[in-house]
Amino acid sequence: MSRSRVVLLIIVVAELVLIGMRYQENAGFSAPVKSRVNKLERGNRLAVRQMEADLDTHSIDDWVNLGQVYMTFALMPEAEYCFKRAANLGSLTLEQQFKYGICLSRRGKIEKAIRIVLPVANSNNELAVHANQQIGFDYLRLDRRIDAEKYLRKAGADPISELSLARVLIREDRVAEAIRVLDGLITRDPDSMRAHQMRAWAYETPGDTYDEHEAHVSYDNSMHASGI
């Protein structure tokens, strides 16, 4: 081995040793989280700092709870770090997986968010509806409308999901289906301004379903629902 390679190897080994020493000095995987809590108002800052100080680094629940607090204050990188640490400790509950997925989605890590939330969507948990809705929204962000439709339909009779589904169907030139979805929503919630408004847009879409009269009626209903 040439002298230059020996010198390079020594430098690399020395760097690795220094990294290891710094890692141990910072308590390894037991290290507390470092955050930008100093940006918060004093009362909130002190409360979060106390949570950080009291954190049991071997507790999944503690990491998840702290991550949720960070999400509340839009400290998303810190929140993701907490959920990741929790997941590294063991299996998360469905509720914890859902929170982790929401965090990843807000961080723009859409495909990973979908993978994390999918078990919740496929479960009988009370969060399944919200999980299917979230996956549908994430697929819309990826412009995968067919996948989005699947999960928005699975979300069932949920107003936000149905409005999003109707919008997808209109964009896919399946206006008649969109109108059926909106009619079902309006039957359950006659005062839904957005449903009436979108129904008007659907009837204004060029094609076999175009109906100026129905569009006008829907616009009138949307104005009435808004209290104008």
Residue 67 lies in a domain: no
CA dist 215 and 203 (Å) reads 5
Check residue 23 and give its pLDDT: 44
Residue 27 falls inside a structural domain: no
- Annotate 142-166 with three-state secondary structure: CCCHHHHHHHHHHCCCCHHHHHHHH
Is residue 194, in this structure, part of any structural domain at all? yes
Among 129, 139, 138, smallest CA distance to 162 is for: 129
Radius of gyration of the chain (CA): 25
pLDDT band of 73, cuts 50, 70, 90 = confident
The pLDDT value given to residue 1: 54
Query: Is the pLDDT at 31 greater than 70, yes or no?
Result: no
**What pLDDT score was predicted for residue 13?**
46
User: Is the pLDDT confidence value at 28 over 50?
Assistant: no
In this prediction, residues 182-186 reach a mean pLDDT of 96
52 in any annotated domain:
no
Dihedral sign of CA atoms 83, 84, 89, 91 in order: positive
- Whether the per-residue pLDDT at 66 is higher than 90: the answer is yes
C-alpha span between 223 and 191 (Å, rounded): 10
Output the pLDDT for position 130. Answer: 96
Domain contains 3: no
CA distance 211 to 61: 55
Q: Is the dihedral of CA 103, 120, 140, 169 positive or negative?
A: negative
Rounded Cα distance, 140 and 166, in Å: 13
Domain range for residue 165? 157-228
Task: Report the pLDDT value the prediction gives residue 199, as an integer from 0 to 100.
Answer: 96
Enter the pTM of the model.
0.78
Checking if the pLDDT of 213 tops 60, the result is: yes
Q: How many domains does the chain have?
A: 1
Q: Can you read off the two tokens belonging to residue 126?
A: 């009370």
CATH code at 170? 1.25.40.10
Whether 212 is in a domain gets the answer: yes
Range with lowest mean pLDDT among 42-51, 89-98, 136-145: 42-51
pLDDT at 39 > cutoff 50: yes
Q: Classify residue 175: in a domain, yes or no.
A: yes
Tell me the pLDDT band of 89, cut-offs 50, 70 and 90. very high
Domain presence at residue 44:
no
pLDDT tier at 21 (50, 70, 90 boundaries)? low
Instruction: Tell me the pLDDT tens digit for each residue of 50-63.
Output: 888 899 999 999 99
Q: What is the pLDDT of residues 109-156, one digit of tens each?
A: 999 999 999 999 999 999 999 999 999 999 999 999 999 999 999 998
**Between residues 45 and 191, which one has the greater pLDDT?**
191
